[in-house]
């Protein structure tokens, strides 16, 4: 491992920037992400920052069962995120559509049709602790030695 890679690994392990995007959820998962910010769970002690700005994000949290307005918007949003990047589906909706995937519905799950999803957290909604532990266990797998393994 080169010195540069070592430095990048060290920095990246304590600095994970998160953006979340709601593509048609009921809000339940969104407020559980917000609850992660609270001093009770204190997401920032692990070096995770929620900016909600795709251009400086490393992790994109996706909630919701993909409504039609996002069809031409989610892919550009995903492209704007700089490498290395990872998308996490939160809740049942992005995975299967949950209760909304019925006849007559307007949503079009799963989200993995549109962008690559690295991890899925089932639950309606999942607990804040599950969200934090997923990000923490996923980040080293994706970000460690990113430049060297890419070659």
Partner 1 sequence: MNTYLYEKDLRQMKLTILESRRHDAVVLELAATLGIKRQQLRKILIEHFDMLFLENLPARCDAARETGDDTEKLLGIPLLTQAFRLLSKEEGDQIKEQYLERIENGITEETARSEAQMEILVLIRS
Partner 2 sequence: MKKTVDVSLPVGPMHPCFKEPCRIKCETRGEYVLSAEVELGYVKKGIERIMRGRPWQEVMFLAERVCGICSVIHNFVFIEAVENISGIVPTERAAFLRVIVNELDRMQSHLLANYSYCYTIEHETLAMYLLNLRETVMDQLELITGARVTCAYIIPGGVRSDLSAEDAERLRSALDHIDAELSRFIRIFETGPLIALRSKGVGILTKEAAIEAHAVGPTARASGIDNDQRSTHPTYKALGFSPIIRQEADNYARIMVRFEEVFQSTGLIRSALAALKEGPIRGGGTIKAGSIKYRNEAPRGELLYELTTDDYGRILEIAIQTPSIPNIQVCAHEMLIDAQSAADITSIFISSDPCIACTER
Measured from the CB atom, the residue of 77 and 136 that comes closer to partner 1 is 77
What is the CA 105 to chain-centroid distance, rounded?
A: 25
- Shortest CA distance to 100 belongs to which of 45, 3, 29, 52? 29
Measured from the CB atom, the residue of 44 and 148 that comes closer to partner 2 is 44
By the rule CB under 8 A, 23 interacts with partner 2: yes
By the rule CB under 8 A, 53 interacts with partner 1: no
Measured from the CB atom, the residue of 10 and 52 that comes closer to partner 2 is 52
Among 106, 124, 133, 141, binds partner 1 (CB under 8 A): 106
Least distance in angstroms from the C-beta of 106 to partner 1: 7
Let me know: does 9 contact 144? Beta carbons within 8 Å: yes
Beta bridge partners of 48: 16
Let me know: does 51 contact 18? Beta carbons within 8 Å: yes
- 35-73: string of b/e by CB count within 10 Å (b at 16+)? bbbeeebebeebebebeeebeebbbbbbbbbbbeebeee
Measured from the CB atom, the residue of 77 and 142 that comes closer to partner 2 is 77
First-to-last alpha carbon distance for the chain, in angstroms, is 13
By the rule CB under 8 A, 122 interacts with partner 2: no
Among 14, 40, 150, 151, binds partner 2 (CB under 8 A): 40
Secondary structure letter of residue 84 according to DSSP: S
Binding site for partner 2 (CB under 8 A): 19, 21-32, 34-35, 37-40, 51-54, 64-65, 67-70, 73, 77, 98-100, 102-107, 124-125, 127
Binding site for partner 1 (CB under 8 A): 68-69, 72-73, 106
């Amino acid at each position: 491992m080169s010195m540069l890679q070592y430095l990048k690994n060290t920095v990246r392990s304590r600095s994970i920037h998160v953006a979340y995007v709601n593509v048609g959820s009921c809000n339940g998962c969104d407020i559980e992400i917000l609850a992660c910010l609270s001093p009770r769970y204190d997401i920032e002690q692990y070096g995770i920052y929620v900016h909600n700005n795709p251009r400086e994000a490393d992790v994109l949290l996706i909630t919701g069962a993909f409504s039609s307005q996002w069809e031409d918007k989610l892919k550009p949003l995903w492209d704007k995120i700089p490498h290395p990047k990872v998308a996490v589906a939160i809740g049942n909706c992005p995975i299967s559509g949950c209760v909304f995937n019925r006849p007559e519905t307007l949503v079009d799950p799963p989200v993995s049709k549109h962008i690559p999803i690295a991890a899925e957290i089932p639950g309606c909604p999942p607990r804040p602790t599950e969200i934090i532990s997923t990000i923490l266990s996923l980040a080293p797998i994706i970000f460690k030695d990113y430049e060297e393994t890419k070659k």
